[in-house]
Structure 1
Protein backbone atom coordinates (compact mmCIF):
# COMPACT_ATOMS: atom_id res chain seq x y z
CA UNK A 1 0.00 0.00 0.00
CA UNK A 2 1.33 3.46 -0.87
CA UNK A 3 1.84 5.86 2.00
CA UNK A 4 1.93 9.65 1.90
CA UNK A 5 3.45 12.07 4.35
CA UNK A 6 2.55 15.48 5.64
CA UNK A 7 4.86 15.77 8.66
CA UNK A 8 4.40 12.01 9.40
CA UNK A 9 3.82 8.91 7.28
CA UNK A 10 0.12 8.12 7.71
CA UNK A 11 -2.72 6.87 5.51
CA UNK A 12 -4.12 9.63 3.31
CA UNK A 13 -7.54 9.72 5.00
CA UNK A 14 -6.10 10.77 8.37
CA UNK A 15 -3.32 13.09 7.28
CA UNK A 16 -2.58 15.84 9.80
CA UNK A 17 -2.93 19.40 8.51
CA UNK A 18 -0.48 22.25 9.16
CA UNK A 19 -0.94 23.87 12.54
CA UNK A 20 -1.84 27.15 10.80
CA UNK A 21 -4.70 25.56 8.86
CA UNK A 22 -8.17 26.72 9.84
CA UNK A 23 -11.20 24.45 9.68
CA UNK A 24 -12.31 26.08 6.42
CA UNK A 25 -8.97 25.11 4.84
CA UNK A 26 -9.48 21.39 5.45
CA UNK A 27 -11.40 20.62 2.25
CA UNK A 28 -8.91 22.63 0.18
CA UNK A 29 -5.83 20.93 1.62
CA UNK A 30 -7.29 17.44 1.39
CA UNK A 31 -8.26 18.03 -2.26
CA UNK A 32 -4.78 19.32 -3.14
CA UNK A 33 -3.07 16.50 -1.26
CA UNK A 34 -5.19 13.83 -2.97
CA UNK A 35 -4.54 15.47 -6.35
CA UNK A 36 -0.75 15.53 -5.87
CA UNK A 37 -0.79 11.97 -4.57
CA UNK A 38 -2.49 10.85 -7.80
CA UNK A 39 -0.20 12.91 -10.06
CA UNK A 40 3.00 11.65 -8.40
CA UNK A 41 1.93 8.07 -7.66
CA UNK A 42 4.21 6.54 -10.31
CA UNK A 43 7.36 7.95 -8.70
CA UNK A 44 7.80 5.45 -5.89
CA UNK A 45 6.33 3.25 -3.21
CA UNK A 46 6.31 6.05 -0.64
CA UNK A 47 5.40 9.68 -1.34
CA UNK A 48 6.34 12.67 0.80
CA UNK A 49 3.96 15.60 0.27
CA UNK A 50 4.24 18.83 2.24
CA UNK A 51 1.85 21.73 1.63
CA UNK A 52 2.49 25.37 2.48
CA UNK A 53 -0.53 27.55 3.19
CA UNK A 54 -0.53 31.14 1.88
CA UNK A 55 0.22 33.63 4.64
CA UNK A 56 -2.85 35.77 3.91
CA UNK A 57 -6.20 34.59 5.27
CA UNK A 58 -8.61 33.94 2.42
CA UNK A 59 -12.28 32.94 2.31
CA UNK A 60 -13.04 29.24 2.26
CA UNK A 61 -12.51 27.56 -1.12
CA UNK A 62 -15.72 25.80 -2.09
CA UNK A 63 -15.61 22.81 -4.46
CA UNK A 64 -11.80 23.00 -4.88
CA UNK A 65 -10.45 21.83 -8.26
CA UNK A 66 -6.61 21.55 -8.11
CA UNK A 67 -4.37 21.76 -11.18
CA UNK A 68 -0.64 21.99 -11.82
CA UNK A 69 0.62 25.46 -12.68
CA UNK A 70 3.14 23.80 -15.01
CA UNK A 71 1.45 20.66 -16.35
CA UNK A 72 3.12 17.98 -18.43
CA UNK A 73 5.60 16.34 -16.07
CA UNK A 74 5.21 14.16 -13.00
CA UNK A 75 5.60 16.63 -10.10
CA UNK A 76 8.73 16.25 -7.99
CA UNK A 77 10.51 18.70 -5.71
CA UNK A 78 9.03 22.17 -5.28
CA UNK A 79 5.85 22.68 -7.30
CA UNK A 80 3.12 25.30 -7.59
CA UNK A 81 -0.46 24.06 -7.41
CA UNK A 82 -3.41 26.12 -8.58
CA UNK A 83 -6.91 25.61 -7.17
CA UNK A 84 -10.11 26.78 -8.81
CA UNK A 85 -12.76 27.58 -6.23
CA UNK A 86 -16.52 27.78 -6.49
CA UNK A 87 -18.92 26.15 -8.92
CA UNK A 88 -17.81 28.34 -11.83
CA UNK A 89 -14.10 27.98 -10.98
CA UNK A 90 -13.45 31.68 -11.51
CA UNK A 91 -11.68 32.16 -8.21
CA UNK A 92 -8.13 30.82 -8.42
CA UNK A 93 -5.53 30.60 -5.69
CA UNK A 94 -2.08 29.01 -5.56
CA UNK A 95 -0.25 26.88 -3.00
CA UNK A 96 3.36 25.78 -2.84
CA UNK A 97 4.17 22.13 -2.22
CA UNK A 98 7.25 19.98 -1.74
CA UNK A 99 6.98 16.48 -3.21
CA UNK A 100 9.45 13.71 -2.55
CA UNK A 101 9.34 10.03 -3.38
CA UNK A 102 11.32 7.25 -1.76
CA UNK A 103 12.24 4.91 -4.59
CA UNK A 104 15.09 3.11 -6.31
CA UNK A 105 17.49 4.49 -8.89
CA UNK A 106 20.48 2.90 -10.68
CA UNK A 107 24.13 3.54 -9.79
CA UNK A 108 27.37 2.02 -10.99
CA UNK A 109 29.00 -0.58 -8.75
CA UNK A 110 32.35 -0.01 -10.45
CA UNK A 111 34.19 2.84 -12.15
CA UNK A 112 33.50 3.29 -15.85
CA UNK A 113 35.97 4.72 -18.35
CA UNK A 114 35.04 7.11 -21.15
CA UNK A 115 33.96 5.13 -24.20
CA UNK A 116 33.14 1.99 -22.19
CA UNK A 117 29.80 0.30 -22.80
CA UNK A 118 27.51 -0.22 -19.81
CA UNK A 119 26.69 -3.87 -19.09
CA UNK A 120 24.00 -5.10 -16.74
CA UNK A 121 26.55 -6.30 -14.20
CA UNK A 122 27.91 -2.73 -13.93
CA UNK A 123 24.65 -1.53 -12.33
CA UNK A 124 23.07 -1.79 -8.90
CA UNK A 125 19.91 -0.23 -7.47
CA UNK A 126 20.03 2.24 -4.60
CA UNK A 127 17.15 3.62 -2.53
CA UNK A 128 16.57 7.26 -1.58
CA UNK A 129 14.44 10.36 -2.02
CA UNK A 130 14.15 10.90 -5.76
CA UNK A 131 13.62 14.63 -5.19
CA UNK A 132 17.23 14.88 -3.97
CA UNK A 133 18.64 13.56 -7.25
CA UNK A 134 20.18 15.99 -9.78
CA UNK A 135 18.22 17.17 -12.79
CA UNK A 136 17.83 14.60 -15.57
CA UNK A 137 18.85 11.76 -13.28
CA UNK A 138 18.18 8.35 -14.84
CA UNK A 139 15.74 6.10 -12.98
CA UNK A 140 15.45 3.11 -15.32
CA UNK A 141 18.46 0.79 -15.43
CA UNK A 142 17.27 -0.75 -18.69
CA UNK A 143 17.71 2.60 -20.44
CA UNK A 144 21.40 2.64 -19.48
CA UNK A 145 22.42 -0.89 -20.46
CA UNK A 146 24.14 -0.77 -23.85
CA UNK A 147 24.88 2.96 -23.60
CA UNK A 148 28.43 4.32 -23.89
CA UNK A 149 29.97 6.53 -21.20
CA UNK A 150 30.91 10.00 -22.50
CA UNK A 151 33.35 10.56 -19.61
CA UNK A 152 34.84 8.66 -16.66
CA UNK A 153 32.10 7.92 -14.09
CA UNK A 154 32.62 7.04 -10.43
CA UNK A 155 30.55 4.33 -8.71
CA UNK A 156 27.62 4.83 -6.31
CA UNK A 157 26.60 8.21 -7.75
CA UNK A 158 23.26 9.14 -9.37
CA UNK A 159 23.55 8.79 -13.13
CA UNK A 160 22.56 11.55 -15.55
CA UNK A 161 21.59 11.51 -19.21
CA UNK A 162 24.51 13.66 -20.37
CA UNK A 163 26.98 11.04 -19.07
CA UNK A 164 25.95 8.56 -21.78
CA UNK A 165 25.33 8.31 -25.48
CA UNK A 166 23.71 5.61 -27.59
CA UNK A 167 25.91 3.09 -29.33
CA UNK A 168 25.58 3.65 -33.11
CA UNK A 169 23.99 0.70 -34.90
CA UNK A 170 24.42 2.25 -38.33
CA UNK A 171 27.44 4.14 -39.62
CA UNK A 172 27.52 6.75 -42.38
CA UNK A 173 27.83 5.13 -45.86
CA UNK A 174 27.18 1.66 -44.40
CA UNK A 175 25.25 -0.84 -46.52
CA UNK A 176 21.98 -1.50 -44.70
CA UNK A 177 18.76 -3.48 -45.06
CA UNK A 178 15.52 -1.52 -45.11
CA UNK A 179 12.27 -3.35 -44.32
CA UNK A 180 9.05 -1.86 -45.70
CA UNK A 181 6.16 -3.06 -43.55
CA UNK A 182 2.43 -2.99 -44.16
CA UNK A 183 -0.65 -4.80 -42.88
CA UNK A 184 -0.24 -7.73 -45.28
CA UNK A 185 3.28 -7.50 -46.62
CA UNK A 186 6.97 -7.06 -45.79
CA UNK A 187 9.57 -6.14 -48.41
CA UNK A 188 13.31 -5.72 -47.87
CA UNK A 189 15.72 -3.64 -49.92
CA UNK A 190 19.40 -2.87 -49.62
CA UNK A 191 20.56 0.69 -49.46
CA UNK A 192 23.28 3.03 -48.25
CA UNK A 193 22.95 4.98 -45.00
CA UNK A 194 23.58 8.69 -45.54
CA UNK A 195 24.13 9.36 -41.84
CA UNK A 196 24.87 7.41 -38.63
CA UNK A 197 22.10 6.37 -36.25
CA UNK A 198 21.36 4.68 -32.94
CA UNK A 199 18.34 2.58 -31.99
CA UNK A 200 15.15 4.52 -32.70
CA UNK A 201 16.83 7.27 -34.73
CA UNK A 202 15.34 8.22 -38.09
CA UNK A 203 17.98 8.57 -40.79
CA UNK A 204 18.11 8.92 -44.58
CA UNK A 205 18.89 5.93 -46.80
CA UNK A 206 19.65 6.01 -50.54
CA UNK A 207 18.88 3.11 -52.88
CA UNK A 208 20.63 2.21 -56.15
CA UNK A 209 18.01 4.09 -58.19
CA UNK A 210 18.96 7.24 -56.21
CA UNK A 211 15.66 7.18 -54.33
CA UNK A 212 16.07 8.52 -50.79
CA UNK A 213 13.81 7.52 -47.89
CA UNK A 214 13.80 8.19 -44.16
CA UNK A 215 13.74 5.02 -42.03
CA UNK A 216 13.99 4.14 -38.35
CA UNK A 217 17.00 2.23 -37.00
CA UNK A 218 15.68 -1.08 -35.63
CA UNK A 219 18.89 -3.09 -35.17
CA UNK A 220 22.47 -3.55 -36.30
CA UNK A 221 22.39 -2.46 -39.94
CA UNK A 222 18.59 -2.86 -40.09
CA UNK A 223 16.04 -0.10 -40.61
CA UNK A 224 12.26 -0.10 -41.02
CA UNK A 225 9.78 2.11 -42.80
CA UNK A 226 6.04 1.67 -42.35
CA UNK A 227 3.39 2.11 -45.03
Structure 2
Protein backbone atom coordinates (compact mmCIF):
# COMPACT_ATOMS: atom_id res chain seq x y z
CA UNK A 1 0.00 0.00 0.00
CA UNK A 2 1.34 3.38 -0.93
CA UNK A 3 1.93 5.73 2.02
CA UNK A 4 1.61 9.48 1.72
CA UNK A 5 3.74 11.88 3.68
CA UNK A 6 2.25 15.05 5.12
CA UNK A 7 4.46 17.01 2.78
CA UNK A 8 2.64 15.49 -0.18
CA UNK A 9 -0.90 16.30 1.11
CA UNK A 10 -2.36 19.58 -0.22
CA UNK A 11 -2.63 22.36 2.37
CA UNK A 12 -6.44 22.90 1.91
CA UNK A 13 -7.07 19.20 2.59
CA UNK A 14 -4.93 19.33 5.76
CA UNK A 15 -6.90 22.30 7.00
CA UNK A 16 -10.22 20.51 6.36
CA UNK A 17 -9.05 17.39 8.26
CA UNK A 18 -7.85 19.55 11.15
CA UNK A 19 -11.21 21.30 11.41
CA UNK A 20 -13.05 17.94 11.32
CA UNK A 21 -10.91 16.59 14.19
CA UNK A 22 -11.46 19.72 16.30
CA UNK A 23 -15.25 19.71 15.77
CA UNK A 24 -15.48 15.97 16.53
CA UNK A 25 -13.49 16.31 19.76
CA UNK A 26 -15.64 19.27 20.84
CA UNK A 27 -18.83 17.29 20.23
CA UNK A 28 -17.53 14.32 22.19
CA UNK A 29 -16.50 16.56 25.06
CA UNK A 30 -19.96 18.12 25.19
CA UNK A 31 -21.85 14.82 25.40
CA UNK A 32 -21.26 14.11 29.09
CA UNK A 33 -22.22 17.68 29.95
CA UNK A 34 -25.48 17.46 27.96
CA UNK A 35 -26.39 14.14 29.55
CA UNK A 36 -25.63 15.52 32.99
CA UNK A 37 -27.77 18.58 32.24
CA UNK A 38 -30.70 16.40 31.14
CA UNK A 39 -30.40 14.31 34.30
CA UNK A 40 -30.10 17.44 36.44
CA UNK A 41 -33.51 18.69 35.28
CA UNK A 42 -35.31 15.33 35.06
CA UNK A 43 -37.17 15.81 38.36
CA UNK A 44 -38.24 19.33 37.37
CA UNK A 45 -39.51 18.27 33.93
CA UNK A 46 -41.36 15.23 35.32
CA UNK A 47 -43.01 17.31 38.04
CA UNK A 48 -44.25 19.94 35.57
CA UNK A 49 -45.48 17.27 33.11
CA UNK A 50 -47.51 15.54 35.82
CA UNK A 51 -48.89 18.87 37.04
CA UNK A 52 -50.04 19.93 33.55
CA UNK A 53 -51.51 16.48 32.92
CA UNK A 54 -53.64 16.74 36.08
CA UNK A 55 -54.73 20.28 35.21
CA UNK A 56 -55.90 19.28 31.71
CA UNK A 57 -57.68 15.97 32.45
CA UNK A 58 -61.09 17.60 32.77
CA UNK A 59 -60.72 19.40 29.43
CA UNK A 60 -60.68 16.49 27.00
CA UNK A 61 -59.83 12.88 26.22
CA UNK A 62 -56.52 13.39 24.39
CA UNK A 63 -53.80 15.64 25.77
CA UNK A 64 -50.45 16.46 24.13
CA UNK A 65 -47.95 18.41 26.25
CA UNK A 66 -44.77 19.84 24.74
CA UNK A 67 -42.63 21.30 27.50
CA UNK A 68 -39.59 23.44 26.74
CA UNK A 69 -36.67 22.39 29.00
CA UNK A 70 -34.92 24.98 31.17
CA UNK A 71 -31.51 26.37 30.34
CA UNK A 72 -28.71 23.82 30.94
CA UNK A 73 -26.81 26.53 32.81
CA UNK A 74 -29.39 26.65 35.62
CA UNK A 75 -28.86 24.63 38.77
CA UNK A 76 -31.14 21.76 39.70
CA UNK A 77 -34.57 22.62 41.15
CA UNK A 78 -35.08 20.79 44.44
CA UNK A 79 -38.62 19.98 45.62
CA UNK A 80 -40.28 21.50 42.51
CA UNK A 81 -43.75 22.93 43.16
CA UNK A 82 -45.40 23.94 39.83
CA UNK A 83 -48.22 26.48 39.52
CA UNK A 84 -50.07 28.21 36.69
CA UNK A 85 -49.19 31.87 36.22
CA UNK A 86 -52.76 32.51 34.95
CA UNK A 87 -54.92 30.28 37.19
CA UNK A 88 -58.18 31.83 35.95
CA UNK A 89 -57.58 30.65 32.38
CA UNK A 90 -57.76 27.09 31.08
CA UNK A 91 -54.25 25.68 30.41
CA UNK A 92 -54.50 25.51 26.62
CA UNK A 93 -52.22 26.56 23.79
CA UNK A 94 -49.11 28.42 24.91
CA UNK A 95 -48.92 28.26 28.70
CA UNK A 96 -46.46 29.72 31.20
CA UNK A 97 -45.78 27.53 34.24
CA UNK A 98 -44.08 28.79 37.37
CA UNK A 99 -42.08 26.43 39.58
CA UNK A 100 -41.10 27.12 43.18
CA UNK A 101 -37.80 25.47 44.08
CA UNK A 102 -36.17 24.59 47.39
CA UNK A 103 -37.57 23.85 50.81
CA UNK A 104 -38.42 27.51 51.40
CA UNK A 105 -39.93 27.94 47.87
CA UNK A 106 -38.24 31.33 47.55
CA UNK A 107 -36.61 30.55 44.19
CA UNK A 108 -39.08 30.65 41.27
CA UNK A 109 -38.49 29.59 37.67
CA UNK A 110 -40.73 29.80 34.64
CA UNK A 111 -41.15 27.24 31.86
CA UNK A 112 -43.06 27.46 28.59
CA UNK A 113 -45.36 24.71 27.35
CA UNK A 114 -47.58 24.07 24.34
CA UNK A 115 -50.72 22.13 25.27
CA UNK A 116 -53.14 20.60 22.77
CA UNK A 117 -56.33 19.01 24.07
CA UNK A 118 -58.79 17.14 21.85
CA UNK A 119 -62.25 17.40 23.35
CA UNK A 120 -65.78 18.66 22.91
CA UNK A 121 -66.88 22.27 23.19
CA UNK A 122 -70.12 24.20 22.91
CA UNK A 123 -71.29 26.13 19.87
CA UNK A 124 -74.47 27.96 18.95
CA UNK A 125 -76.82 25.50 17.22
CA UNK A 126 -79.07 28.30 15.92
CA UNK A 127 -78.83 32.03 15.31
CA UNK A 128 -79.24 33.74 18.68
CA UNK A 129 -80.58 37.28 18.71
CA UNK A 130 -79.23 40.00 20.94
CA UNK A 131 -81.09 40.15 24.25
CA UNK A 132 -82.32 36.53 24.07
CA UNK A 133 -81.88 34.34 27.14
CA UNK A 134 -80.02 31.20 26.08
CA UNK A 135 -81.70 27.82 26.57
CA UNK A 136 -80.20 24.31 26.13
CA UNK A 137 -81.91 23.75 22.77
CA UNK A 138 -80.01 26.73 21.32
CA UNK A 139 -76.65 25.01 21.86
CA UNK A 140 -74.76 22.23 20.08
CA UNK A 141 -71.50 20.34 20.50
CA UNK A 142 -68.37 20.04 18.39
CA UNK A 143 -65.08 18.14 18.78
CA UNK A 144 -61.65 19.54 18.02
CA UNK A 145 -58.39 20.92 19.40
CA UNK A 146 -59.38 23.12 22.32
CA UNK A 147 -56.03 24.88 22.06
CA UNK A 148 -57.16 26.41 18.76
CA UNK A 149 -60.19 28.08 20.35
CA UNK A 150 -60.20 31.79 21.24
CA UNK A 151 -58.79 32.49 24.69
CA UNK A 152 -62.20 33.56 26.03
CA UNK A 153 -64.16 30.64 24.56
CA UNK A 154 -66.65 28.92 26.90
CA UNK A 155 -66.57 25.14 26.42
CA UNK A 156 -69.19 23.99 28.96
CA UNK A 157 -72.93 24.53 28.31
CA UNK A 158 -73.66 24.99 32.04
CA UNK A 159 -71.68 28.23 31.89
CA UNK A 160 -73.86 29.52 29.02
CA UNK A 161 -77.44 28.39 29.67
CA UNK A 162 -79.49 31.09 31.38
CA UNK A 163 -77.22 33.91 30.23
CA UNK A 164 -78.37 36.66 27.86
CA UNK A 165 -76.77 37.36 24.47
CA UNK A 166 -75.06 40.75 24.44
CA UNK A 167 -74.77 40.61 20.63
CA UNK A 168 -76.13 38.49 17.78
CA UNK A 169 -74.48 35.04 17.76
CA UNK A 170 -74.48 33.13 14.46
CA UNK A 171 -75.16 29.41 14.26
CA UNK A 172 -71.96 27.36 14.50
CA UNK A 173 -70.10 30.08 16.42
CA UNK A 174 -67.95 29.26 19.44
CA UNK A 175 -69.44 31.27 22.30
CA UNK A 176 -67.00 33.57 24.09
CA UNK A 177 -67.38 35.14 27.51
CA UNK A 178 -67.89 38.66 26.17
CA UNK A 179 -70.78 37.45 23.93
CA UNK A 180 -73.05 36.85 26.93
CA UNK A 181 -73.95 38.29 30.32
CA UNK A 182 -75.98 37.30 33.34
CA UNK A 183 -79.63 38.40 33.17
CA UNK A 184 -80.37 41.72 34.83
CA UNK A 185 -82.24 41.47 38.11
CA UNK A 186 -82.12 45.20 38.78
CA UNK A 187 -82.51 47.98 36.21
CA UNK A 188 -81.58 51.62 36.42
CA UNK A 189 -84.43 53.76 37.80
CA UNK A 190 -86.17 50.77 39.37
CA UNK A 191 -87.50 50.93 42.95
CA UNK A 192 -85.61 48.30 44.92
CA UNK A 193 -85.51 46.92 48.46
CA UNK A 194 -82.18 47.12 50.27
CA UNK A 195 -81.64 44.81 53.25
CA UNK A 196 -79.06 45.26 55.96
CA UNK A 197 -78.67 42.58 58.61
CA UNK A 198 -76.32 41.51 61.36
CA UNK A 199 -76.19 39.10 64.29
CA UNK A 200 -79.14 40.68 66.06
CA UNK A 201 -80.85 42.97 63.59
CA UNK A 202 -82.43 43.12 60.14
CA UNK A 203 -83.69 46.30 58.52
CA UNK A 204 -84.81 47.15 55.01
CA UNK A 205 -85.33 50.35 53.06
CA UNK A 206 -86.57 51.24 49.61
CA UNK A 207 -84.54 53.26 47.19
CA UNK A 208 -83.87 53.93 43.52
CA UNK A 209 -81.29 51.92 41.58
CA UNK A 210 -78.80 54.14 39.80
CA UNK A 211 -77.42 51.42 37.50
CA UNK A 212 -78.22 47.95 36.18
CA UNK A 213 -77.13 44.83 38.03
CA UNK A 214 -77.08 41.05 37.66
CA UNK A 215 -76.83 38.47 40.43
CA UNK A 216 -73.94 39.27 42.78
CA UNK A 217 -73.10 42.61 41.17
CA UNK A 218 -72.83 45.91 43.04
CA UNK A 219 -75.53 48.52 42.42
CA UNK A 220 -75.60 52.09 43.67
CA UNK A 221 -78.89 53.02 45.35
CA UNK A 222 -80.18 56.48 46.19
CA UNK A 223 -82.34 57.18 49.23
CA UNK A 224 -84.06 60.55 49.26
CA UNK A 225 -82.21 63.36 47.54
CA UNK A 226 -78.67 62.96 48.87
CA UNK A 227 -77.94 59.59 50.49
CA UNK A 228 -76.32 57.07 48.14
CA UNK A 229 -74.85 53.68 49.00
CA UNK A 230 -73.81 50.46 47.23
CA UNK A 231 -75.46 47.07 47.74
CA UNK A 232 -75.17 43.59 46.23
CA UNK A 233 -77.94 42.06 44.09
CA UNK A 234 -79.30 38.90 45.74
CA UNK A 235 -82.56 38.42 43.80
CA UNK A 236 -84.84 40.31 41.47
CA UNK A 237 -85.45 43.78 42.88
CA UNK A 238 -83.64 43.01 46.15
CA UNK A 239 -80.16 43.99 47.30
CA UNK A 240 -78.07 43.27 50.39
CA UNK A 241 -75.61 45.51 52.21
CA UNK A 242 -72.43 43.62 53.15
CA UNK A 243 -70.79 44.38 56.49
TM-score (norm. length: structure 1): 0.71
User: Which residue in 2 is equivalent to 1:171?
Assistant: 187
Which moves more between the two structures, 113-122 or 87-96? 87-96
- Cα distance in 1 for partners of 2:204, 2:66 equals 57
User: Which residue in 1 is equivalent to 2:92?
Assistant: 76
Unaligned runs of 5+ in 2: 1-36
Q: In the TM superposition, what whole-angstrom CA distance separates every residue of 1:170-225 from its partner, at most 9, and x where no partner exists?
A: 22221111222334443332221122222222111123485322111222212122
- Cα distance in 1 for partners of 2:217, 2:101 equals 46
What SS class does the counterpart of residue 186 from structure 2 fall into? coil
User: Which residue in 1 is equivalent to 2:222?
Assistant: 206
- Cα distance in 2 for partners of 1:29, 1:42 equals 22
User: Which residue in 1 is equivalent to 2:178?
Assistant: 162
Mapped pair 1:139 → 2:155: yes
Unaligned runs of 5+ in 1: 1-20
User: Which residue in 1 is equivalent to 2:17?
Assistant: none
- Cα distance in 2 for partners of 1:116, 1:70 equals 36
The one of 61, 64, 73 equivalent to 2:76 is: 61
Instruction: Please say if residues 232 and 242 of structure 2, whose CA atoms lie closer than 8 Å, have aligned partners that are also in contact.
Output: no
- Cα distance in 2 for partners of 1:133, 1:92 equals 30
- Cα distance in 1 for partners of 2:74, 2:241 equals 59
Max Rg structure: 2
Q: In the TM superposition, what whole-angstrom CA distance separates every residue of 1:128-164 from its partner, at most 9, and x where no partner exists?
A: 3322210211133233233332332122321112222
* 1:48 to 1:205, Cα distance in 2 relative to 1, 3 A: same
* 1:93 to 1:183, Cα distance in 2 relative to 1, 3 A: closer
* 1:35 to 1:223, Cα distance in 2 relative to 1, 3 A: same
* 1:169 to 1:59, Cα distance in 2 relative to 1, 3 A: closer
- Cα distance in 1 for partners of 2:110, 2:191 equals 58
- Cα distance in 1 for partners of 2:221, 2:178 equals 28
Cα distance, 1:51 vs structure 2: 1.9
User: Which residue in 2 is equivalent to 1:148?
Assistant: 164
Instruction: Please say if residues 173 and 195 of structure 1, whose CA atoms lie closer than 8 Å, have aligned partners that are also in contact.
Output: yes
- Cα distance in 1 for partners of 2:229, 2:43 equals 58
* 1:35 to 1:178, Cα distance in 2 relative to 1, 3 A: same
Q: How does 1:90-129 map to 2 (within 5 A)?
A: 95-129=111-145
Instruction: Please say if residues 64 and 83 of structure 1, whose CA atoms lie closer than 8 Å, have aligned partners that are also in contact.
Output: no
What SS class does the counterpart of residue 48 from structure 1 fall into? strand
* 1:175 to 1:68, Cα distance in 2 relative to 1, 3 A: same
Mapped pair 1:225 → 2:241: yes
